[in-house]
Amino acid sequence: MEGAVSIAIEARDGAARAGCLSTPHGEVQTPAFMPVGTRAAVKAMSPDELWSLGYRLVLANAYHLAVRPGPELVQEMGGVGRFMGFPGAVLTDSGGFQAMSLAKINSIDENGIRFRSHLDGAPVALTPESAIELQERLGSDMMMALDECTPYPIDRERARASAEMTARWAERSLRAHRSPTQALFGIVQGSIYSDLRAMSARQITALGFDGFATGGLSVGEPKEAMLGMAELVVSMLPEAKPRYLMGVGTPEDLLAAIAMGYDLFDCVLPTRNARNGGAFTSRGRIAIKRAIYARDARPLDPDCGCRGCATLTRAYLRHLYLSGEILAARALTEHNLFFYARLMSQARTAIASGAYREFQRAMIDRISAAEGETGGAKSNVV
């Protein structure tokens, strides 16, 4: 089933590409970062604030919406986008990752996944067919085929069996796909084994999906392995379809993935770090709770154009955070999402001008040098 979404590549610089993703709810300039709206809400942000920051595509969590409020209600309210009041496009996942990360799994077999709800322990069953039905009822613009997201570490034979089953599930997902206005993406798995990743990429790309994703990374594996597998897979994905790297989200990793040729990204990092007092800036990461900011009258980032940096000092933000004020989470979240949106915009401009590699190196050098001087946190979680 073709035509629900399409991507037009407008500029290239090496493998990096800038384009326009057309969806039933408008166009999305790529490369694009998707804020994560787990329960049809990006934490601490209103839909109009996301729109004003330039976001035209967000991610919602099919599993969470299935258990509350339920797909019937979302469908009755006109679909997930209208339900949450977001005028742009919405991508929903299949629920496979949550089966691994949130719930106690009872069993995974050829038919699907059975586990317990994280809310009340009620049994939940996901099959490739029911995951598609769920997402079609949610009314998202882009849906993900059910896959098994394996943890790290995992032995080769278990990873092979999982990747092969994911391919069989992908075929069943395509057969279950009915809605001509909703795109369906296939997901490449295979853990950190290059031969299994290549096998999975061949199997998934042989199927008629509207887009393709690399999944099962950023689950605890070494950074070098994550980047290596991401690069291997993207080299095997079709040029004419959108390419999505799932769950990878530090600024440095996003810049590396853009250089590989990925178009779409999502991660909880900017919003989760904000709620924990962490800010991403053009001069490195800041942990606002540190005592050195107690009398710091500077903005978080003097080069930032977000509302918080125009009016709020580091000292005040530190006070808000230590006092448990909701404004701390709101201001830091808006700042981080502004930073990520601007990073994507800067990347697109650099690709169009043929200077992406220089931009990437300059950004990483600047962030690294600033963090070395200030003692900023360098890990994924501030």
What's 73's domain CATH number? 3.20.20.105
Same domain, 291 and 314: yes
Among the listed residues 93, 147, 210, 263, the single catalytic one is 93
pTM of the model: 0.95
- Is the model more confident about 2 or about 356? 356
Residue 320 within a domain: yes
247 lies in a domain? yes
298 and 151 share a domain? no
Residue 153 in any domain: the answer is yes
Together in a domain, 142 and 214: yes
Residue 99 near residue 105, CB atoms below 8 Å: yes
Quick: pLDDT tens for 366-381.
888 767 555 454 433 3
Residues 277 and 260 in one domain: no
Query: Are 280 and 219 found together in one domain?
Result: no
Segment 217-245 shows an average pLDDT of: 98
Tell me if 91 is assigned to some domain.
Answer: yes
Selecting among 147, 210, 266, 301, the annotated active-site residue is 266
Average pLDDT over the chain reads: 94
254 and 308 in one domain?
no
The answer to whether residue 48 is catalytic is no
Give the per-residue pLDDT at 204.
98
If asked whether residues 87 and 193 sit together in one domain, one would say yes
Domain-terminating residue out of 203, 232, 267: 267
* 93 tagged catalytic: yes
Question: Is residue 1 domain-resident?
Answer: no
Q: What confidence category does residue 1 fall into, taking pLDDT thresholds of 50, 70 and 90? A: very low
Same-domain status, 300 and 253: no
Q: Which two tokens stand for residue 292?
A: 């050195």
pLDDT of residue 103: 64
Same-domain check for residues 108 and 189? yes
Task: Please indicate, yes or no, whether residues 308 and 348 belong to a single structural domain of this protein.
Answer: yes
- 3-state helix/strand/coil string of the chain: CCCCCEEEEEEEECCEEEEEEEECCEEEEECEEECEECCCCCCCCCHHHHHHCCCCEEEECHHHHHHCCCHHHHHHCCCHHHHHCCCCEEEECCCHHHHHHCCCEEEECCCCEEEECCCCCCEEEECHHHHHHHHHHHCCCEEECCCCCCCCCCCHHHHHHHHHHHHHHHHHHHHHCCCCCCEEEEEECCCCCHHHHHHHHHHHHCCCCCEEEECCCCCCCCHHHHHHHHHHHHCCCCCCCCEEECCCCCHHHHHHHHHHCCCEEECCHHHHHHHCCEEEECCEEEECCCHHHCCCCCCCCCCCCCHHHHHCCHHHHHHHHHCCCHHHHHHHHHHHHHHHHHHHHHHHHHHHCCCHHHHHHHHHHHHHHHHHHHCCCCCCCC
User: Per the domain annotation, does 336 fall within a domain?
Assistant: yes
Q: Are residues 239 and 305 in the same domain?
A: no
- Number of structural domains the chain divides into: 2
Domain boundary, last residue among 236, 267, 298: 267
Last residue of a domain, one of 222, 238, 267: 267
Task: Indicate whether 381 belongs to any domain.
Answer: no
Report if residue 379 sits inside a domain.
no
10-54 residue pLDDT tens: 999 999 999 999 999 999 999 999 999 999 999 999 999 999 999
What is the domain range of residue 298? 273-374
Lowest-confidence segment of 74-83, 89-98, 154-163, 373-382 by average pLDDT: 373-382
